Amino acid sequence: MINKIKQMLAQVTDPEIPVLSLGDLGVIRNIEVDDEQVIVTITPTYSGCPAMEVMEQDIIDILTKEGRKVGLPTKIKVETQLSPAWTTDWITDKGKADLLKYGIMPPSRSGKIICPQCKSKDVELLSQFGSTACKALYRCTKCLEPFDYFKCH
Protein backbone atom coordinates (compact mmCIF):
# COMPACT_ATOMS: atom_id res chain seq x y z
CA MET A 1 0.00 0.00 0.00
CA ILE A 2 2.87 2.35 0.82
CA ASN A 3 4.24 1.83 -2.69
CA LYS A 4 0.86 2.67 -4.20
CA ILE A 5 0.79 5.85 -2.15
CA LYS A 6 4.31 6.68 -3.37
CA GLN A 7 3.17 6.23 -6.94
CA MET A 8 0.24 8.58 -6.35
CA LEU A 9 2.51 11.13 -4.73
CA ALA A 10 4.84 10.93 -7.74
CA GLN A 11 2.09 12.76 -9.63
CA VAL A 12 2.33 15.72 -7.27
CA THR A 13 4.92 18.22 -8.38
CA ASP A 14 6.55 21.32 -6.99
CA PRO A 15 4.19 24.15 -8.01
CA GLU A 16 7.20 26.26 -8.95
CA ILE A 17 9.01 23.50 -10.85
CA PRO A 18 6.36 21.33 -12.53
CA VAL A 19 8.89 18.71 -13.69
CA LEU A 20 9.98 17.87 -10.16
CA SER A 21 7.83 15.42 -8.19
CA LEU A 22 7.69 15.68 -4.41
CA GLY A 23 9.52 12.37 -4.15
CA ASP A 24 12.36 13.60 -6.34
CA LEU A 25 12.43 16.88 -4.48
CA GLY A 26 13.06 14.80 -1.36
CA VAL A 27 10.41 16.42 0.82
CA ILE A 28 8.50 13.24 1.73
CA ARG A 29 9.85 11.97 5.04
CA ASN A 30 7.37 9.31 5.99
CA ILE A 31 4.13 7.64 4.96
CA GLU A 32 1.93 5.87 7.47
CA VAL A 33 -1.31 4.12 6.79
CA ASP A 34 -3.69 2.29 9.09
CA ASP A 35 -7.37 1.38 8.96
CA GLU A 36 -8.51 4.91 9.62
CA GLN A 37 -6.12 7.35 8.09
CA VAL A 38 -3.10 8.11 5.97
CA ILE A 39 -0.43 10.36 7.40
CA VAL A 40 2.14 11.83 5.05
CA THR A 41 5.03 13.63 6.72
CA ILE A 42 6.84 16.24 4.66
CA THR A 43 9.72 18.61 5.31
CA PRO A 44 9.24 22.02 3.71
CA THR A 45 11.98 23.03 1.29
CA TYR A 46 12.35 26.32 3.09
CA SER A 47 10.29 27.93 5.80
CA GLY A 48 7.56 30.28 4.72
CA CYS A 49 7.54 28.82 1.24
CA PRO A 50 4.03 29.55 -0.08
CA ALA A 51 4.35 26.58 -2.43
CA MET A 52 4.21 24.22 0.54
CA GLU A 53 0.56 24.97 1.22
CA VAL A 54 -0.25 24.20 -2.39
CA MET A 55 1.72 20.95 -2.10
CA GLU A 56 -0.14 19.94 1.04
CA GLN A 57 -3.47 20.44 -0.65
CA ASP A 58 -2.28 18.59 -3.76
CA ILE A 59 -1.22 15.62 -1.59
CA ILE A 60 -4.64 15.51 0.06
CA ASP A 61 -6.43 15.87 -3.28
CA ILE A 62 -4.53 13.10 -5.07
CA LEU A 63 -4.72 10.64 -2.15
CA THR A 64 -8.43 11.29 -1.77
CA LYS A 65 -9.13 10.89 -5.48
CA GLU A 66 -6.78 8.01 -6.35
CA GLY A 67 -6.96 6.45 -2.90
CA ARG A 68 -10.66 5.80 -3.28
CA LYS A 69 -9.92 3.42 -6.17
CA VAL A 70 -7.63 1.22 -4.07
CA GLY A 71 -9.50 1.43 -0.80
CA LEU A 72 -7.32 3.88 1.11
CA PRO A 73 -8.86 5.49 4.19
CA THR A 74 -10.49 8.77 3.23
CA LYS A 75 -8.95 10.64 6.12
CA ILE A 76 -5.69 12.09 4.84
CA LYS A 77 -3.37 14.08 7.06
CA VAL A 78 -0.26 15.97 6.06
CA GLU A 79 2.18 16.67 8.84
CA THR A 80 5.29 18.77 8.57
CA GLN A 81 8.61 17.96 10.15
CA LEU A 82 11.02 20.87 10.37
CA SER A 83 14.04 19.06 11.75
CA PRO A 84 16.35 17.98 10.24
CA ALA A 85 15.94 20.80 7.76
CA TRP A 86 15.56 20.00 4.10
CA THR A 87 18.66 20.42 2.03
CA THR A 88 19.17 20.41 -1.71
CA ASP A 89 21.20 17.20 -1.20
CA TRP A 90 17.85 15.43 -0.80
CA ILE A 91 16.93 16.07 -4.42
CA THR A 92 17.34 12.71 -6.19
CA ASP A 93 19.66 12.21 -9.15
CA LYS A 94 16.60 11.78 -11.34
CA GLY A 95 15.26 15.04 -9.96
CA LYS A 96 18.52 16.79 -10.79
CA ALA A 97 18.50 15.38 -14.33
CA ASP A 98 14.88 16.52 -14.76
CA LEU A 99 15.79 20.02 -13.57
CA LEU A 100 18.58 20.25 -16.12
CA LYS A 101 16.24 19.10 -18.91
CA TYR A 102 13.75 21.72 -17.78
CA GLY A 103 16.42 24.41 -18.15
CA ILE A 104 17.34 24.88 -14.50
CA MET A 105 20.89 24.15 -13.36
CA PRO A 106 20.47 21.77 -10.38
CA PRO A 107 22.25 22.39 -7.06
CA SER A 108 25.94 21.63 -7.41
CA ARG A 109 28.08 21.04 -4.33
CA SER A 110 31.22 21.23 -6.46
CA GLY A 111 30.13 24.68 -7.60
CA LYS A 112 30.47 23.66 -11.23
CA ILE A 113 27.72 25.43 -13.10
CA ILE A 114 27.00 24.70 -16.74
CA CYS A 115 24.48 26.08 -19.20
CA PRO A 116 21.42 23.75 -19.29
CA GLN A 117 20.94 24.58 -22.99
CA CYS A 118 24.38 24.10 -24.57
CA LYS A 119 26.31 22.64 -21.56
CA SER A 120 28.96 25.36 -21.85
CA LYS A 121 30.99 26.14 -18.73
CA ASP A 122 31.27 29.78 -19.74
CA VAL A 123 28.56 31.29 -17.60
CA GLU A 124 28.20 34.53 -15.67
CA LEU A 125 26.16 35.44 -12.63
CA LEU A 126 23.55 38.10 -13.35
CA SER A 127 21.76 38.17 -10.01
CA GLN A 128 21.87 36.26 -6.71
CA PHE A 129 18.10 36.06 -6.90
CA GLY A 130 16.35 34.55 -9.89
CA SER A 131 12.64 33.86 -10.35
CA THR A 132 12.48 32.82 -6.67
CA ALA A 133 14.76 33.42 -3.69
CA CYS A 134 16.17 29.89 -3.84
CA LYS A 135 17.49 30.42 -7.36
CA ALA A 136 20.19 32.62 -8.81
CA LEU A 137 20.06 34.03 -12.31
CA TYR A 138 22.92 33.17 -14.65
CA ARG A 139 23.62 33.73 -18.31
CA CYS A 140 25.58 31.57 -20.67
CA THR A 141 28.19 33.66 -22.43
CA LYS A 142 28.27 31.18 -25.32
CA CYS A 143 24.64 30.85 -26.36
CA LEU A 144 23.58 33.97 -24.38
CA GLU A 145 20.61 32.17 -22.80
CA PRO A 146 19.79 33.25 -19.25
CA PHE A 147 18.99 30.41 -16.85
CA ASP A 148 18.18 29.78 -13.19
CA TYR A 149 20.59 28.02 -10.90
CA PHE A 150 18.94 26.20 -7.98
CA LYS A 151 21.22 27.25 -5.11
CA CYS A 152 22.56 24.74 -2.59
CA HIS A 153 21.33 25.02 0.94
Residue with Cβ nearer Zn ion (37 or 120)? 120
Give min distance, CB of 113 to Zn ion, in A: 11
- Which neighbouring-strand residues pair with 79? 41
Evaluate whether 144 touches 115 at the Cβ level (below 8 Å).
no
Q: What is the CA radius of gyration of the chain?
A: 17
Residue with Cβ nearer Zn ion (90 or 147)? 147
Give min distance, CB of 105 to Zn ion, in A: 11
Give min distance, CB of 114 to Zn ion, in A: 8
Let me know how many helices (H) and strands (E) the chain has, helices first.
Answer: 4, 9
Evaluate whether 45 touches 86 at the Cβ level (below 8 Å).
yes
Residue with Cβ nearer Zn ion (76 or 123)? 123
Using CB under 5 A, list all residues that contact Zn ion. 115, 117-118, 120, 140, 142-143
